[in-house]
Amino acid sequence: MCAVRDAPFAPTTGGTFPLVLLAGRADLELVHARIGALEQVDGTRVGYVAFGGGGLLALPAALRREPGTTVAFVAFDAALFWPAFAETMERVPGFDPARFDLPFLHVLPAASAEHEDPARRSAPSGDPLLFVQLLADGIQHHDLSANGWISTELLGLRADERAEVRGVARVLATYTLRFLDATLCDSTESRDFLTREPEETELAGEAFELRRE
């Protein structure tokens, strides 16, 4: 955790937000080093799963991967390609969008997709870049996190959207596990799953679309 005294949090105009991102990157690199050193852990295969602003923290660390390390990145509604954040991200030391050449699963509601600038994405070389766009009405940002699921399932809030939230959880869990299994464990079965259209899987009927780039 990093605390910056008497400094404004200004993600879209600069401020100290790049320092927060730099601290987050350092934290993740430390965690990777400590956990990767454990005997029962293969530190050469790393999967990042990030939600919202966590994607902004995790992506610089993922792009600075060590040689010989396989990295896969999963983001849930993270503003990685929003023009408003572009200048801030570029101020993080070591962040290089041109190195965006790792397997990436990008999950976001349709409303968030409208804010993205596709030109800011560098096409990876030979790596899967999958977009899962959620189309269900009423889906909110936090429905892609544990907070959203818990508030709906356990607290009974927004009962009218319960079926949609359950569908989102099912889509996220299925594609995240399949994606990491395919990219980090080289699972033929999961690779085959990712090549199929949604209606050809057990997720047929859920409100989302899959796009590959």
Domain extents in the chain: 17-212
Q: Would you state the pLDDT for residue 35? A: 85
The C-alpha atoms of residue 105 and residue 176 are separated, in whole angstroms, by 8
Instruction: Give me the torsion for CA of 25, 31, 37, 38, rounded to 10°.
Output: -150
Q: How many residues does the chain have?
A: 213
Upper half-sphere CA count for residue 72 (Cβ side, 13 Å): 20
Q: Would you state the pLDDT for residue 12? A: 44
Q: Would you state the pLDDT for residue 16? A: 52
Phi-psi region of 52 (alpha: psi -120 to 50; beta: other; left: phi over 0): left
Q: Would you state the pLDDT for residue 126? A: 52
Cα distances (Å, whole numbers) of residue 65 to 28, 37, 39, 48, 72: 11, 15, 20, 11, 10
The C-alpha atoms of residue 115 and residue 132 are separated, in whole angstroms, by 15
Q: Would you state the pLDDT for residue 2? A: 41
Q: Would you state the pLDDT for residue 10? A: 44
Spatial contact of 110 and 137, defined as CB atoms under 8 Å apart: no
pLDDT beneath 50, residues of the chain: 1-14, 123-124
The C-alpha atoms of residue 58 and residue 50 are separated, in whole angstroms, by 7
Q: The pTM is what?
A: 0.82
Q: Would you state the pLDDT for residue 13? A: 43
What counts of helices (H) and strands (E) characterise the chain? 7, 5
DSSP code, position 208:
E
CATH of span 17-212: 3.40.50
Upper half-sphere CA count for residue 188 (Cβ side, 13 Å): 0
Q: Would you state the pLDDT for residue 121? A: 62
Cα distances (Å, whole numbers) of residue 54 to 25, 51, 90: 10, 5, 16
Residues 6+ apart with CB under 8 A from 56: 21, 24, 78, 79, 80, 85, 89
Upper half-sphere CA count for residue 116 (Cβ side, 13 Å): 19
